[in-house]
Amino acid sequence: MVRLFKVSVFLNVVTGLGLATALQVLAVAIPLKTTEVALLRVDPADERIYRVEPISVEVDGFELMLEKMARRYVAQILAVDGISQGSRFKEVATYSDQDFYRQFLKENEGRIDEAIEDGLNRSITVETANQVDAYNGIYQYSVDFIQTDKIGRQPPEQSKLRAYLEMTTRPQEVTTVERFENPLGIRILKLAVQERPTT
């Protein structure tokens, strides 16, 4: 009877150690199942093997991502209409440096509200976006666009303008919501708009 008790204790200890080891292996292996966003462009006629890398500043396509952000940001922040203003500005707030966004609203919110009350419908058509400079993790872009203002039945007025933006990446600020749309945490630091020089 004592012998059976000793065998039972031994088997219970071995089973417990085996279970603890199995749980430890699972705990270590679980973080391996993460999803990383990556850019992948494939030519269907090509049979090469492609290496997929997570998006980072060093990956080809990073400049393309910045250019896309510059184009979209200018179109979203400068357009004016009574219907989509709220949803567009939510997106603009997400991609803006908080100090810059607060200052922008302080300077422009009243004018935008008055323009909406007057029936202004401003559309932005982006023509080009080009990188001007890059230093210390800050990327400067110029975006040429056409601004079309229409009020009621009046004929539309068009202006050819240029916006200058400063952007940076802040991956430490990326929220769960923007993890797949903006994995690098691109933030707009400054925006200036001026008339396009005529050449």
The rounded distance, in Å, linking the Cα atoms of 87 and 71 is 17
pLDDT tens digit string along 141-180?
999 999 999 988 889 999 999 999 999 988 888 887 777 7
Q: What was the pLDDT predicted at 34? A: 60
Residue 13 has pLDDT above 80, yes or no: yes
Q: What was the pLDDT predicted at 117? A: 92
Residue 118 has pLDDT above 70, yes or no: yes
Residue 123 has pLDDT above 70, yes or no: yes
Q: What was the pLDDT predicted at 38? A: 59
pLDDT tens digit string along 19-43?
888 888 777 777 655 666 656 666 6
The rounded distance, in Å, linking the Cα atoms of 142 and 156 is 25
102: its two tokens: 């607060």
Contact predicate 195/161, CB 8 Å: yes
Residue 109 has pLDDT above 70, yes or no: yes
Spatial CA neighbour of 84 closest among 116, 126, 127, 117? 116
Contact predicate 164/139, CB 8 Å: no
Residue 54 has pLDDT above 60, yes or no: no
The rounded distance, in Å, linking the Cα atoms of 158 and 122 is 10
Residue 57 has pLDDT above 80, yes or no: no
User: What's the whole-number mean pLDDT along residues 125-132?
Assistant: 94
What does the DSSP assignment read for the chain?
-HHHHHHHHHHHHHHHHHHHHHHHHHHHHGGG-----------TT-----------TTSTTHHHHHHHHHHHHHHHHH-B-TTTHHHHHHHHHHHB-HHHHHHHHHHHHHHHHHHHHTTEEEEEEEEEEEEEEEETTEEEEEEEEEEEEEETTSPPEEEEEEEEEEEEE-GGG--STTTTT-TT-EEEEEEEEEEPPP-
Q: What was the pLDDT predicted at 78? A: 95
